[in-house]
Structure 1
Amino acid sequence: MTLTASDSPVAAGSPLLSVQGLCCERDGRPLFDGLSFALNAGCAIQVMGANGAGKSTLIRTLIGSVSDFRGEIHWRGQAFPAGLPSMRAELLYIGHNAGVRRGLTPLENLAWYGATEKEAFEALAAVGLFGFEDLLCRQLSAGQNRRVALARLYLPDPAPLWVLDEPLAALDVAGVESLEARMRAHLENDGSLLLTSHQPVNIPALSRIDLADVQAPCEDRFDDAAALAGQVRGTACEVHHG
């Protein structure tokens, strides 16, 4: 099944990220197979699946941290691995682990990413960490450390592609609402978003991929060219299996 927002002005252009027939394994066990989708500017896709279904493996494959896969990945029409450096130059990635240096303060963590002191103060205030800027991150809670990582989304000139692995984890209700508002603003500015989440995400026209729909063994697809049937829910971007 293919879903296309034909009435959207950005959907008609070339996708930023496109995936065709992607198959990944872990320890010799197929995680998913025949996954294809296109992510356009202004669009968002949520990857869903049970624990162990391969959500994080898919994310790491798309950012080039996992090279053992079959299928094709293109960034702005250029196939991996040649297109990988260009994609990384336009990528903001936050993994399931916050990636915060716990021996540094929130200000120092953002400075490591090139933020000025003023920019870091404003970004930390935006995620509710006013007054915590000079504490060591090891003194902060899990939710506060998640906010330190997410403060990167509030720095000036954000990258066009955001790839976020479980960004809502450990956030309270106010933190979730703030992050959803920031993601909506990013999409309105023609940014694109790929995220995993077990929780509902309040973003209009969000497409969803459920990895449970693409779990046939890899060898089955390469021995048989027939497309895999699957369910896809969404309206924003092109997503299909097979």
Structure 2
Amino acid sequence: MMLEGVNLQAIRDERSLFSHVSFQIGSGQCLHVQGENGSGKTSLLRMIAGLIPPSAGIVSWNGRSIQQSGGDYRRELLYCGHLLGLKDELSAIENLMFAASLADDPVEVCAVRDALRRSGLADREDLPVRFLSQGQKRRVSLVRLLLQPRALWILDEPLTALDAKAVRWLTGVIDAHLDSGGVVVITSHQGMALMNTPQVIRIGV
């Protein structure tokens, strides 16, 4: 597997957030995107996810432009953005089963319960998520990583609101994905002690 960006540029309101951004990562590798607030980190991740087009440059997956790949590429990736994508009136289990169904990856209730237990939410899985803390909600959203198998993970500030124990859990999940040959693109203001040292790019400088 190979994810590549060549001479990428993002323009917002006639202002260039970044330009000439290039990278290349393969199986078992992680790309850590760094930059100040407003530098365009989220724009770059959304660009890589195919949610917005680059103002210039190209993103390719396995040697093929993601614009050309279309649905084939989207079936290879899982994007976790700032918005958690949870419905407050549904429980953690209901939210995750709904998300898996939308992604055409239906899962059994027992698998969802087990994934929530591993994330540290064994006693919260049946509560409406409106009763959960922000860190617990973040964990519910991230449990999708365990339930929806994808080769490429794109994670935008996944450590937001997580306590130290939850950070260790997520670090282990990412390490396991990389160890199995997966690919990860992440942006985070906090450091992560991953087993495989990430490739770092800094934008907006």
The verdict on a shared fold, with TM-score over 0.5 as the criterion, is yes
Letter in 2 for 1:160: A
SS in 2 for 1:82: helix
Letter in 1 for 2:124: F
Letter in 1 for 2:191: P
1:138 maps to which of 124, 130, 142: 130
Contact persistence 2:8–2:54 (CA under 8 A): no
Work out whether 1:175 is the aligned partner of 2:166.
yes
Match of 1:83 in 2: 69
Contact persistence 1:127–1:151 (CA under 8 A): yes
Work out whether 1:127 is the aligned partner of 2:116.
no
**TM-score of the two chains, using structure 2 as the length reference:** 0.93
> How far apart, in 2, do the equivalents of 1:126 and 1:84 lie?
33
Work out whether 1:186 is the aligned partner of 2:172.
no
Contact persistence 2:17–2:204 (CA under 8 A): no
> How far apart, in 2, do the equivalents of 1:74 and 1:192 lie?
14
> How far apart, in 2, do the equivalents of 1:180 and 1:125 lie?
16
Deviation for aligned residue 1:121 = 0.2
SS in 1 for 2:68: coil
Q: Rg bigger for which structure?
A: 1
Match of 2:200 in 1: 208
SS in 2 for 1:110: helix
Deviation for aligned residue 1:59 = 0.7
Contact persistence 2:66–2:73 (CA under 8 A): no
Work out whether 1:199 is the aligned partner of 2:190.
yes
**TM-score of the two chains, using structure 1 as the length reference:** 0.79
Q: Kindly provide the CA deviation profile for residues 209-239 of structure 1, in whole angstroms up to 9, marking residues without a partner as x.
A: 11134xxxxxxxxxxxxxxxxxxxxxxxxxx
> How far apart, in 2, do the equivalents of 1:143 and 1:198 lie?
16
Considering only aligned residues, what root-mean-square deviation do their CA atoms show, in Å?
A: 1.2
1:164 maps to which of 149, 155, 172: 155
Match of 1:148 in 2: 140
Aligned length: 198
Match of 2:96 in 1: 110
Match of 1:231 in 2: none
Match of 1:42 in 2: 28
Deviation for aligned residue 1:16 = 2.1
Structure 2: runs of 5 or more not aligned: 101-105
> How far apart, in 2, do the equivalents of 1:76 and 1:132 lie?
40
**TM-aligned CA distance change 1:68 to 1:20, over 3 Å:** closer
Deviation for aligned residue 1:67 = 1.9
Q: Give the 4+ runs in structure 1 shifted more than 3 A.
A: none
Deviation for aligned residue 1:139 = 1.2
Letter in 1 for 2:42: S
